[in-house]
Amino acid sequence: MKNWKKVAAVCMSIAVLTGVSACSPAAKQESDEVVLDVWHQFTDPESEQTKTFLAAVDNYESEHENIKIELHGLDTESYKTKISTEFASSASGIDVFYYWSPGKLKQLVNADKVLPLNDYVTDEVMSRVKEGSTSAFEFGDDLYALPIDSYMMCLFCNKTLFEEAGAEIPSTYDELIAAGEKLQTLDGVTPLVIGAKDSWLAGALYEAVALREVGAGEVQAALLGETAFTNEGFKRAAEKVIELNQKGIFGKNPLEDGEPEATADFLNGKAAMQLDGSWFAGTIDNTEESVVTDVEVITFPVVSEGQSRTDYAGGASASFFVNKNTDTPAEAADFAIYIAEQMGSKALEIGSGFPCWNVDVDESALSPTFVSLYNLYNSVETGIQNWDGILDANATAVHLEQAQSLLVEGASAESFMKAHQEAISTQE
Amino acid sequence: MKRLLSNKLYIAIFVAPALILFIAMGVVPLFITGYYGLFDYDGIGKKTFIGLQNYIDLFAADAYFLKSILNSFILAAGSLFVQLPIALLLAILLANGVKGEGFYRTVFFLPVVISSMVIGQLWCKIFNSDGLLNAILGFFGCTDDIAWLVNSKTAYMTTVIPAVWQSIGYHMVILYAGVKNISPEYYEAAKLDGATGFKAAMKITIPLLMPTIKVSATFALVGSLRVFDLVYVMTGGGPNHASEVPATLMYDNLFVKCRYGYGSAQAFFIVFECLLFSFLLNCIFKKSEENASAI
């Protein structure tokens, strides 16, 4: 019994001391420190985007002594899974998170998981954002994030290989086939690498053709369910992808390789064209081992002569959002706005995309491929995001697996259409 | 001690920690999963109760689920009728004192230690159209560079082969321990009766090994029914769902398509299927086990 009393006395003493120390000035100062848990997908240490992101985080911490940023980074595919799982529970360990809008974000907004930033975005901040670039982040009257940059899907062409094969850079679908046939005669060269093992790239390929077949307005309307997914152009686009594959334009087995392998092929001079986002320009210019020296960037060829080329696949789609359950909404919102502006302002410099912020562009500082890309970007008008940024999760999965299915033996445009019609019509 | 163990309170106290952990980590999540399967739920928003609709849809409306079950049965057959016999043969050979027994045991067990991700990548290199298999076939005059991994007729088999290969060592070690456990007296007695080598293996080793074989068979069967990692790494269930197994479909529904209710129904089915087949296997092995214990 005596021992019990001793133990109780020691416990009481510890409790009292802890209580007293919690009220001391030192502890008060400590409790003023705000820790922001920031979830992101910038994990490639070689990437300029990662370097820019980390530098911006360091700057923010040094400018705000009471704020500490805890970073939680995963590569893109793992990140998507992990963050969905987090939000399926309380997501209590997330204050700020990188995400894709409007498609994927809509689900979180509907579940009331995202903090609108209306109260935190001042007129002064908005004056620095390019007009019209926030639409992907608005639902109703609420603005959920400020954009970072815009991207654009393009065809990157290795002009040296085109010259060797005596082929012209294609501007129409027929020219693409003609160039592909000539390029196939070069030993070990794939005319156009897709990296379709990564399903979003298979999707991007189909989307590029569909955009030319039906136009940005019709694509947008069909994906949002405003019109049925019955336009014959969608079917023709599927048939064209099948045709290109059967003609060997994408190599023997386009589904065997993902984006890294496709990129390696292009940079090693084993592929004459690569379909990828604008960020690929930075990769081309910053990879020292690359044997590719002369690159022309074009938008995807049109399907008929004289067709307008002003529609493009791309836009502002991803940014940093604030978890509605955060304990520190003001600090989290301030950081989300800061990091979007910092990364957006550097987008041109690092070749990741086109800034959605008003920045002065010094073309002499840009990489050569990016200058060509920037000129192309200035010539297009109506952008539509990759479909996985617009469709809901289920329809996205169906779309991407169906886009891959166009590249297998026995592919069928009819079953492609049927699967899309079912998936898109059941979207909420 | 005997008095202590006859007191039910003490028994309860000793059993409680493990039992509580088992219930909390195993039984409760299982029933929660089954419960989620009764809802139309995207994992984030509101849940709508739809009764058994998800469970009915598994068989009535899902174009791929039945095919995925069939695929898992093919792997189960490969595991039971190819993997286990090879493992048993190796176990008996090694336990009979082959020179370099320890070395061979380590070599056969090595694939078990290696991560499935690495094994998957390794076999992808073998099955790629410019991989080792086509190079060997090319040497023998077959110059069609078959894309084994992305051909819907061959994709699933490319995952079955490494899956069967990888676990041979695992079952070999279990069976090897079982063979080593058999008293040498049985073999001495059999030798006097003229049974050695193959005959001794058939009449002494295998009958006495039945309880161990049952354990191995259960692991092999259940492992096949819930296989995920190798299929996910090598083919991702493609092309066009040709190599789906129930667990890859479940993963897709839970984490990619955000069909949390439906994915939960699939998860619950996989557990139920594993329990059912474990029970059936127990029934099948009951007689042989009784014979073994009678000896």
Q: How much is the pLDDT for B294? A: 66
Asked if B149's CB is within 8 angstroms of A107's CB, the reply is no
Share of chain B above pLDDT 90, in %: 64
DSSP 8-state secondary structure symbol assigned to residue A326? -
Query: Is a pLDDT exceeding 70 seen at residue A74?
Result: yes
Contacts of B152 in chain A (CB under 8 A): 408-410
User: What is the full DSSP assignment across chain B?
Assistant: -HHHHH-HHHHHHHHHHHHHHHIIIIIHHHHHHHHHTTEE--SSS--EE-TTHHHHHHHHT-TTHHHHHHHHHHHHHHIIIIIHHHHHHHHHHHHTT-TTHHHHHHHHHHHHHS-HHHHHHHHHHHHSTTSHHHHHHHHTT------GGG-TTTHHHHHHHHHHHHHHHHHHHHHHHHHHHS-HHHHHHHHHTT--HHHHIIIIIHHHHHHHHHHHHHHHHHHHHT--HHHHHHTTT-STTTT--HHHHHHIIIIIS--HHHHHHHHHHHHHHHHHHHHHHHHHHHHHHHHHHH-
Residue B270's Cβ-side half-sphere holds a number of Cα atoms within 13 Å equal to 25
Other CB atoms closer than 10 Å to residue A186's CB: what's the count? 17
Q: What is the pLDDT of residues A175-234, one digit of tens each?
A: 999 999 999 999 989 999 999 999 999 999 999 999 999 998 899 889 988 888 999 999
Contacts of B36 in chain A (CB under 8 A): none
Residue A55's SS3 state is helix
Mean of pLDDT values over A129-134: 84
Asked if A401's CB is within 8 angstroms of B238's CB, the reply is yes
Q: Give the Cα separation of B47 and B33 in Å (integer).
A: 14
**Closest Cα partner for A151 from A363, A263, A297, A368?**
A297
Q: What is the mean pLDDT of chain A?
A: 87
**Closest Cα partner for B148 from B264, B243, B255, B21?**
B243
Strands (E), A50-183: 67-73, 96-100, 138-139, 142-143, 149-158
List all residues 6 or more positions away from A402 whose beta carbon is below 8 Å from its beta carbon.
Answer: A415, A416, A419, A420
Residue of B nearest to A406 (CA): B240
Residue A96: strand pairing partners: A38, A322
Q: What is the pLDDT of residues A257-284, one digit of tens each?
A: 899 999 999 999 999 999 999 888 878 8
Query: Is a pLDDT exceeding 60 seen at residue B14?
Result: yes
Residue corresponding to tokens 């086109």? A354
DSSP 8-state secondary structure symbol assigned to residue A130? P
Q: How much is the pLDDT for A19? A: 44
- Report the range of poorest mean pLDDT among A47-51, A71-75, A326-330, B32-36: A47-51
- Categorize the per-residue pLDDT at B54 as very low, low, confident or very high, splitting at 50, 70 and 90: very high
List all residues 6 or more positions away from B125 whose beta carbon is below 8 Å from its beta carbon.
Answer: B131, B132
Q: How much is the pLDDT for A368? A: 76
Q: How much is the pLDDT for A7? A: 54
Q: How much is the pLDDT for A14? A: 54
What's chain A's Rg over C-alpha atoms?
25
Q: What is the mean pLDDT of chain B?
A: 90
Query: Is a pLDDT exceeding 70 seen at residue B218?
Result: yes
- Categorize the per-residue pLDDT at B200 as very low, low, confident or very high, splitting at 50, 70 and 90: confident
Q: How much is the pLDDT for A31? A: 55
Contacts of B44 in chain A (CB under 8 A): 84, 87-88, 107-108, 111, 113
Q: Work out the angle at residue A289's Cα, subtended by the Cα atoms of residues A287 and A294, and round it to the nearest 5 degrees.
A: 70
Fold classification of B52-116+150-294 is MetI-like fold (1.10.3720)
Q: Which residue has the higher pLDDT, A427 or A266?
A: A266
Q: Which residue has the higher pLDDT, A3 or A236?
A: A236
Asked if B150's CB is within 8 angstroms of A256's CB, the reply is yes
**Closest Cα partner for A49 from A351, A367, A334?**
A351
Q: Give the Cα separation of A152 and B173 in Å (integer).
A: 55
- Please state which CATH number belongs to domain A151-315+372-425: 3.40.190.10
Task: Provide the greatest CA pair distance for chain B.
Answer: 77
User: Residue B239 is encoded by which pair of tokens?
Assistant: 């092309």
Start-end ranges of CATH 3.40.190.10 in chain A?
A: 33-150+316-365, 151-315+372-425
**Closest Cα partner for A180 from A276, A246, A260?**
A246
Q: How much is the pLDDT for A25? A: 41
Residue A35: strand pairing partners: A68
Q: What is the pLDDT of residues A378-408, one digit of tens each?
A: 888 888 889 988 888 889 999 999 999 999 8
Mean of pLDDT values over B15-36: 94
Query: Is a pLDDT exceeding 70 seen at residue A22?
Result: no
Mean of pLDDT values over A282-293: 81
A255 touches chain B (CB under 8 A): yes
Asked if B43's CB is within 8 angstroms of A84's CB, the reply is yes
Residues in B 72-111 with any Cβ partner in A closer than 8 A: none
Asked if A253's CB is within 8 angstroms of B147's CB, the reply is yes
Q: What is the pLDDT of residues B137-163, one digit of tens each?
A: 988 887 777 889 988 899 999 999 999
Q: How much is the pLDDT for A306? A: 77
Burial class from Cβ neighbours inside 10 Å (0-12, 13-18, 19+) for residue B278 reads middle
Q: Give the Cα separation of A315 and A137 in Å (integer).
A: 12
What's chain B's Rg over C-alpha atoms?
23
Q: Residue A102, preceding bond cis, omega within 30 degrees?
A: yes
Residue of B nearest to A254 (CA): B150
Residue of A nearest to B257 (CA): A394
List all residues 6 or more positions away from A391 whose beta carbon is below 8 Å from its beta carbon.
Answer: A103, A223, A399, A423, A424, A427
Check if the beta carbon of residue A322 is closer than 8 Å to that of residue A96: yes
Residue of B nearest to A393 (CA): B257
Rounded to whole angstroms, what are the CA distances from B250 to A88, B173, B209, B222, B255? 16, 32, 36, 16, 8
Q: Give the Cα separation of A164 and A180 in Å (integer).
A: 13
Query: Is a pLDDT exceeding 70 seen at residue A18?
Result: no
Of A107, A404, A410, the CB nearest to B258: A107
Q: Give the Cα separation of B262 and B253 in Å (integer).
A: 7
Residue A152: strand pairing partners: A314
Check if the beta carbon of residue B246 is closer than 8 Å to that of residue B225: yes
- Which ranges of A184-315 would DSSP assign to H, the alpha helix? 199-214, 216-223, 232-246, 259-267, 280-286
Q: How much is the pLDDT for A103? A: 75
Q: What is the pLDDT of residues B68-97, one digit of tens each?
A: 999 999 999 999 999 999 999 999 999 887
Contacts of B47 in chain A (CB under 8 A): none
Burial class from Cβ neighbours inside 10 Å (0-12, 13-18, 19+) for residue A130 reads middle
Of A393, A401, A408, the CB nearest to B258: A393
Q: What is the pLDDT of residues A238-259, one digit of tens each?
A: 999 999 999 999 998 899 889 9
Fold classification of A33-150+316-365 is D-Maltodextrin-Binding Protein; domain 2 (3.40.190)
Residue A276: strand pairing partners: A154
Check if the beta carbon of residue A301 is closer than 8 Å to that of residue A172: yes
Q: Give the Cα separation of A203 and A205 in Å (integer).
A: 5
pTM, two decimals, is: 0.81
Per-domain boundaries in chain B = 52-116+150-294
Of A108, A252, A408, the CB nearest to B152: A408
Q: How much is the pLDDT for A61? A: 94
Query: Is a pLDDT exceeding 60 seen at residue A94?
Result: yes
